Structure 1
Amino acid sequence: MGGKVMALIQCPNCGKEVSDKAEKCPNCETLLREPPKKVCKECGQELNEGVLICHKCGCPVSTETSERGSKKKGSKKLIIIAVLIIAALLIIIFGVNSYNKKVEENKKIEISENYGINIKTATTTMLKGASDAEKLGVLIHDVWSNTIFEKSDAETDMYTKTDGRFNNDFNDSLNKLFADSTYQTRLSAVKSNQTNVERIMKKLQDPPEEYQEAYNAIKDYYDAYLEIINLVINPSGNLQTFTSNFNDADSAVVKYYAAMKIYTE
Structure 2
Amino acid sequence: MAIMALIKCPGCGEEVSDKAVSCVHCGYVLVDENAEEKLVPRLCPDCGKEVDAEAVSCPACGCPLESSAAESEEEVTKVEVAKVKVSAKAKKIAIGVGAGILALILVAFGVNAAVQNQKEQDAVNTYNEYVDNLTLARTEMLTGAASAESVASTAGKIWHAAIWEKKQSNWDADIKQYYATDFNDALAKYYADSSVQSKVSSIKSNQSNVKDVLSKLQNPPDELKSACDSVNDMYDSYISLTNLAVSPSGNYNSFIEKYNSADSDFATQYDKTGTVIPDKK
TM-score, structure 2 normalization: 0.65
Partner of 2:125: 110
CA offsets 1:164-188 (integer angstroms, 9 cap, x no match): xx33x21111111111101001111
Partner of 1:159: 178
CA offsets 1:106-160 (integer angstroms, 9 cap, x no match): 2211221222122112112111211110111111111111111134322212211
Partner of 1:256: 269
Which structure's CA Rg is the greater one?
A: 2
Which amino acid is the alignment partner of residue 153 of structure 2?
Answer: V
Within-5 A mapping of 1:67-146:
69=85, 73-146=88-161
In structure 2, stretches of 5+ residues that fail to align are: 1-68
Which amino acid is the alignment partner of residue 157 of structure 1?
Answer: K
Runs of 4+ in 1 over 4 A off after TM superposition: none
Partner of 1:196: 209
**RMSD between aligned alpha carbons?**
2.6
2:248 is paired with a residue whose SS is coil
Partner of 1:231: 244
Which amino acid is the alignment partner of residue 78 of structure 1?
Answer: I
Partner of 2:193: 180
Please state how far the C-alpha of 1:92 moved relative to its aligned partner: 0.7
Partner of 1:211: 224
Partner of 1:41: none
Number of aligned positions between the proteins: 201
Please state how far the C-alpha of 1:264 moved relative to its aligned partner: 4.2
1:244 is paired with a residue whose SS is helix
Structure-2 separation of matches of 1:264 and 1:98: 31
Structure-2 separation of matches of 1:69 and 1:106: 53
Please state how far the C-alpha of 1:74 moved relative to its aligned partner: 3.5
Please state how far the C-alpha of 1:79 moved relative to its aligned partner: 2.8
1:159 is paired with a residue whose SS is coil
In structure 1, stretches of 5+ residues that fail to align are: 1-29, 38-48, 50-64, 161-165
Please state how far the C-alpha of 1:263 moved relative to its aligned partner: 2.6
Structure-2 separation of matches of 1:111 and 1:100: 16
Structure-2 separation of matches of 1:149 and 1:245: 20
